[in-house]
Structure 1
Amino acid sequence: MPLKAVILIGGPQKGECRGAAGGQGLGPAPLTALPAGTRFRPLSFEVPKPLFPVAGVPMVQHHIEACARVPGMKEILLLGFYQPHEALSRFLVAAQQEFRIPIRYLQEYAALGTAGGIYHFRDQILSGGAEAFFVLNADVCSEFPLQEMLEFGQQHGDAHGFVILGTTANRTQALNYGCIVANADTQEVQHYVEKPSTFVSEVINCGVYLFTPAIFQHIGEVFQRQQQELALEESSNGWQRAEVIRLEQDVFTALAGRGKLYVYKTDGFWSQIKSAGSAIYASRLYLNQYSKTHPERLAQNKPGGPVIRGNVYIHPTASIDSTAVLGPNVSIGEGVTVGAGVRVRESIVLHGAALHDHTCVLNTIVGWDSTIGRWARVEGTPSDPNPNDPYAKIDSESLFRDGRLTPSITILGCSVTIPAEVVILNSIVLPHKELSRSCKNQIIL
């Protein structure tokens, strides 16, 4: 069966990742009551969010690897509203060479929503005779059981049936996601509610879908209805607003109970990557998966090498002192220097960072080219309730309570300098800052 995949990568928010090289932002907004799209700051100032390294490779590469493994996959399309970007272009060229499959970027003229974008580019998606296509949100972390979804769809649906990947969450967590009520025997979706105010179901939407070309008829019905509604309002730009269509609220809600929508429930790992802190949790999940899928990416204890505890990724160009102790759940990026006696746990250390002798880095993201001085301690608090359960669902909104940002892990932006013998606890430091003292529970602008 000829297949395609569409990965929804979104786009930059105000002040994020402007210009060809990235990092030319408009400056940070106050980090209180941030809208959802800004929650990956300060990391998204430097690189488009889909290219942020998670477990050693760009976030969206995990999606591409999963798509490329499906037999019959003819093309992978990245869809979003990022401007042409040097880093994204380089990544696409390298990914095409590595996975030997056409990979293209389709740029929306504006944010069109999860359904509006694929409807706008429906001719590109269907070109070449694709009989079905996957749609994956880039900000989710999963083992992506795409082949299983395809087999499930062939058994339960027909040429007009569609499949949602679902998983289970507890009653409190479920309120943060799309909730699915399905027939226990057929798995047909009877009812769908996006982020309900009261409990509906423990089965939640994972943001991964399998569609046939028939989905465009249903999206088109929403588009026409919105056009008519906007015409009644005599809106001067109604045609633009009508193209903003959401799969979840506008399409799935209407399809539920009509014998066209099914849920495939997975027991594998899954999490969202909405905030910068949730990237550490996602890195843990992917590192855990590497033992099965990419054992070559996991560091091993070797004579004369550092002590490795649990799952650790180390880029080949990194320089690690033999007395350092790394892990569990650590990712060390390109060109990183780790000095004598350094301890790193549950952290991501990005390209070019330097951890000087005897530093301690726990539950932290260390930004590109940042430096941590001797005997300094940089520490955060785990953002999920059970760090020993690799399959527990994270509440990726845990940094945000009562509409305000509450740091729990520590995040250093790019080119941050931490002096010797200071302690940084549960804080966020924006790029290009040189600290002079210890801090706790602070946002350093």
Structure 2
Amino acid sequence: MLKAVILIGGPQKGTRFRPLSFEVPKPLFPVAGVPMIQHHIEACAQVPGMQEILLIGFYQPDEPLTQFLEAAQQEFNLPVRYLQEFAPLGTGGGLYHFRDQILAGSPEAFFVLNADVCSDFPLSAMLEAHRRQRHPFLLLGTTANRTQSLNYGCIVENPQTHEVLHYVEKPSTFISDIINCGIYLFSPEALKPLRDVFQRNQQDGQLEDSPGLWPGAGTIRLEQDVFSALAGQGQIYVHLTDGIWSQIKSAGSALYASRLYLSRYQDTHPERLAKHTPGGPWIRGNVYIHPTAKVAPSAVLGPNVSIGKGVTVGEGVRLRESIVLHGATLQEHTCVLHSIVGWGSTVGRWARVEVPPVTLTPTIPEPAWTVRASSRTGSCCLLSPSWAAESGSLPRCSS
């Protein structure tokens, strides 16, 4: 028997993702046509022996989250439950606080996945590695270059046994080119070190009267309090993957994640990809179109485009490397490149919306948003990068 825990955080986190997370909780933001955490749930549901999926976070259980959970349970025929923290408890505090729920039924092991990662989720391979050599903690790792590695948790491993010998979260100098993917497989015994941290916090009296250090004894940071402390003690091991992986921290990384997932649909969900048909819009590469969207036959879409619920795409529109969120309208002959069009937004006729054409990767800072809107007559206005980011919508400029 197996379980999975998805750490979804709360509204106090993910500030770099704003304003995109103002409309819905960040874990429900659509990436490649479906909510971000649906990719996690799909991967967990495919693991043989999976009995339950738990979401842990500090979001209020509002209507969008409740509706998503109900739909997920029906689609995957698995219990999918949300456990709300009484306060933000860090990456490990929620695991310890809800330990009885996680261990109910005596699972062999349980996966722990951060919601803000994009991956092909090699969970079955991790489970096989765990069963060959059982240890309390198994971390999924991948490689990065020296500069990129400074943005992540860095792992020094024994290349023969894959034991984690040293772990540093976001080091100031180069430690290792192996980084933590935020996807784990824990044995039930892994909760014992979390208990030790909790008890130590209580004993030290590091509560709210220690500002900036410990907001409460229940706050546990997996990376600093557990991985760093236990590295080199034969308890933590790493499973390396060469599959796709990215963090989703900002608009640019959401576009990159959408591109990765759309490419995977060729093998995992070909039914989600639009096909070019006579009399329909011209499809180039991987494109997702929600069934309720209305797309003019003369529109050209792709590659790497996701069109949401109730979107209207007018005649002659060109879309490339972009996400169009539900209810948006792209009027005739607009051009949208490397951008996210906000909910209910309108892009006027002959407008051009574009981010500088650089390769967006999870470790290259995204460029400033540049919005150019031009009319058929050639008049042009240039809006400040902060305008698009702060408003959450795109400008309207028509002839």
- Fold equivalence (TM over 0.5): yes
Q: Which residue of 2 aligns with 1:4?
A: 3
Deviations 1:322-365 (A, max 9, x none): 11110000000111111111100000001111111110000110
For structure 1, which runs of at least 5 residues remain unmatched after alignment? 14-35, 386-392, 400-405, 412-417, 439-445
Match of 1:335 among 288, 293, 310: 310
In the TM superposition, 1:234-313 aligns within 5 A as 241-313=216-288
Q: Which residue of 2 aligns with 1:122?
A: 99
The alignment covers a number of residue pairs equal to 392
Q: Which residue of 2 aligns with 1:107?
A: 84
Root-mean-square deviation (Å): 2.4
Q: Which amino acid aligns with 1:3?
A: L
Contact 2:206 2:216 in 1 (8 A): no
Q: Which residue of 2 aligns with 1:152?
A: 129
CA 1:232/1:371 → structure 2, altered by over 3 Å: closer, same or farther? closer
Contact 2:291 2:309 in 1 (8 A): yes
Q: Distance in 2 between matches of 1:317 and 1:231?
A: 53
In the TM superposition, 1:19-34 aligns within 5 A as none
Deviations 1:294-344 (A, max 9, x none): 001011111111111111001111111111110000000111111111100
Q: Distance in 1 between matches of 2:73 and 2:96?
A: 25
Match of 2:155 among 177, 180, 184: 180
Deviations 1:227-280 (A, max 9, x none): 2222699879x9961111110111001111111111000010000001122100
Q: Percent identity?
A: 67
Q: Which amino acid aligns with 2:111?
A: F
Q: Which amino acid aligns with 1:378?
A: V
Q: Which residue of 2 aligns with 1:407?
A: 368
Deviations 1:348-384 (A, max 9, x none): 0011111111100001100111101110001112564
CA 1:113/1:239 → structure 2, altered by over 3 Å: closer, same or farther? closer
Contact 2:111 2:185 in 1 (8 A): yes
Match of 2:173 among 198, 202, 209: 198
Q: CA deviation at 1:131?
A: 1.5
Q: CA deviation at 1:410?
A: 6.3
For structure 2, which runs of at least 5 residues remain unmatched after alignment? none
2:362 aligned with 1:394 = yes
Match of 1:375 among 336, 350, 355: 350
Deviations 1:144-166 (A, max 9, x none): 0000000011113x2x4320000
Match of 1:62 among 36, 39, 50: 39
Q: Distance in 2 between matches of 1:373 and 1:244?
A: 48
SS at match of 1:242: coil
Q: Which residue of 2 aligns with 1:32?
A: none
CA 1:167/1:234 → structure 2, altered by over 3 Å: closer, same or farther? closer
Contact 2:58 2:84 in 1 (8 A): yes
Q: Distance in 2 between matches of 1:383 and 1:109?
A: 42
| TM-score, L = length of structure 1 | 0.83
Q: Distance in 2 between matches of 1:329 and 1:275?
A: 17
Deviations 1:184-222 (A, max 9, x none): 111111110000000000000000000011011111111
CA 1:118/1:356 → structure 2, altered by over 3 Å: closer, same or farther? same
Match of 2:114 among 137, 149, 158: 137
Q: Distance in 1 between matches of 2:308 and 2:30?
A: 8
SS at match of 2:131: helix
Deviations 1:102-154 (A, max 9, x none): 00000001110011111000000001111200000000000000000000111
Q: Distance in 1 between matches of 2:81 and 2:61?
A: 12
SS at match of 1:144: coil
SS at match of 2:17: coil
Q: Distance in 1 between matches of 2:325 and 2:233?
A: 48
Contact 1:350 1:368 in 2 (8 A): yes
